[in-house]
Structure 1
Amino acid sequence: MDLYEYQARQLLEEHGIPQPRAVYASTVEEAGEAADTIGYPCMVKGQATIGHRGQAGAVKRAHNREEAMQLAEQILPMTISGHPVRGVLITKAENILHEYYVSISVDRASRDYDVLATANGGTEVEAVALQHPESVKRLHISPLEVFDRQAAKAMAGRIGFYHADLDQAADILLHMWETFQECDATLVEINPLAKVGDPDDESTKHLDALDAKISLDGNAAFRHDGWARFSDSDQDDPYERKAKENGLHYVHLNGQVGVIGNGAGLVMSSLDAVSGAGKEQGTAIKPANFLDIGGGASAQVMETSLDVVLSDPQVRSVMVNVYGGITSCAQVAQGIVQAVSHRDDPRPIVVRFDGNAAQEGLSIIAESHDSRLTVADTMEEAAAQAVRLAKVSTASDSKEGE
């Protein structure tokens, strides 16, 4: 679950990380009121779950209410790399003296936690990494070690937050780690972390988180009742939402062959088989989804799965690849026949069964005498047929549209 900046700021604030005052606004009128509340000058920041919003023109400075409203009017309709802007955040425009970058993320390769930081820059950290790779520090926190304030201060020293108070930098690192752990995050990023204040008044200088990005592990949602406030139905994929409501493990992809199987490994292999068949046949046909019906799936689960997959108009054919263990292929076959009998849908379905009750399942498919259903002996054969049928279906649609 990727959070918007204003949502990420809520978590940082709850964990004691300093940041400029801000007010979220969803309309132009609200933006004007928020700007008056914050004071001038202020920043008008488009809220989208993607970085580089400033480069896209979605982060602007306003010097009065009229300008704030004009900027909000320009920013609210924007879409940044396919991510629509959902409101604007009005924040105090700080006097930036120096910028830093720091993030904590899961490092699956080393099986620990990756701390990436640089004291040279902030928003343009990618350019810094390319031009001065030696200035980017990659440190690690072991899941077995205690990361306390002493460890945070030692890490801050290794990063080298020059121009900044090392104790405050250590506090921010520690609070970021607490946010990461307590919120079951996969990423906590502050970019930029900035030293702000009056250059002529040392007492005003301090570190502030001027922007933040946080990604939460959706699998941990059951532990966090407070995550309901982050729900965004407009951002959710409608097919993934429908599958989730029915307890299905589904991921929407940008392809034409729906893929249904039992077991994540088998479904992943099926995706590879469809991709490979598409290349072999010299076509751009690709998998449209990942859908794992799990072990012991009933006829109803199979029927619901087909309903979800076929609700996607991009799908031109479906490949069902089931290896019966706990799952009975006969039950799956009954679900397939029930699903197609209830739908006036010409799209073809290729079925490959193996294992528990495979022959019984194939007999059920054959006895249905439904021309939309075909069977294959192997996964590779099923993938090749599904790709070929999707290609024919797509070509037929193109001719009808001419």
Structure 2
Amino acid sequence: MTSNASHSRRAVLGLAAAAVPAALLVSGATPASAATVIGGERLGLDGIQVRRRAGAPALPRAAAQSWLVADYDSGEVLAAYRPHRPLPPASTLKMLFADTVLPKFDKAQKHKVTAADLAGIPAGSSLVGVEAGTTYTVDQLWQGVFLRSGNDAVHVLSSMNGGVAGTVSEMAAKAVDLQALDTHVVSPDGYDHPGQLSSAYDLSLFARHGLRNTDFRGYCATRVAEFPGRGGKKFQIQNTDRLLGTYAGMIGVKNGYTTHAGNTFTGAATRDGRTLLVTVMHPAVGYDAVYKETSALLDWGFRAVDKVTPVGTLVDPLSEGGGLRTASPAAGPRAARAAVSGGSGTGDSSSWPLLGAGGGVAALLAVGTVALRNRRPRRRRKH
């Protein structure tokens, strides 16, 4: 890290410390007057947030550490549980990578891969089978990213984009534009690097933004493709999204797994002209749990449409005129909870966690991301 970057980081942290009393940073409490909750103040509260009206179905049980159900078109959040809680995202972070890099290259463009393109891929990474000396189209590389979550394909595309460090920098800037302030990017592939974090809210923003791109939507919906192999031969690759082709109306988007992150998944499905987004992060047990909980929350969302009052919204990018949602000033967390209480008793909240609010401190630290984003990611093996 350069001395200038170190100075900038100290300045940002100093600003954050000045804005929030030290006691609050230790306790995890945030005064409502200092909180800026992206998407609406209820999304910064602890506990399940839902406002059911007459005839609305009960929410299914979910063991995930964080989840969110939203309407794709309107952006309305129908229900959520700790959606701003920063957690390791695993390969779902590749959605932000695609949001950032996908529009830059023509699908038909060809690239002969070099050993340098494949340097620095963490041990234990998921791979599609990219080999140095072989020529690939950009289209084939993106199939490798979306279908097989290939970190080798990600690193080749990052190299074409000017390198890993520059791509991380661009992803950090894209996250800020999308108002995904819970996200800290260390590498473009989502691997288990220390400090690499995102949230169910941010992953939903990445998916919603990506699905507006025809190519992004096409890749995440592709179930099978032919990929170049040795000697000019091709081999078949299949999409690792277990709901694609099994859940009615599923159109994507991205799954992920690492030892540290566990299972994460953002899925989108369409039924009767309505498209819903569900993100589930870190169910307690079982590889299939993330898919079962996503399916159950999608089922609930389709039944609950027009029977619940939204508890928040997926905001638009700043570059498209998106505005922040700011919590109303009040005497403290208890007053803030009272101001937003209402609807179903399942929306009651027990705390206003600093890390769960996507709030004032997170917004300040997001500025620090710009100062830090030129730092090269550290390698870390799976454990």
> Quick check: which one's strand share is greater?
1
Q: Which category describes the TM-score, using the shorter chain as reference length?
A: under 0.3
TM-score of the superposed pair, with normalisation by structure 2: 0.20
Higher-Rg member (1/2): 1
The answer to which structure, 1 or 2, has the higher relative contact order (CA under 8 A, 6+ apart) is 2
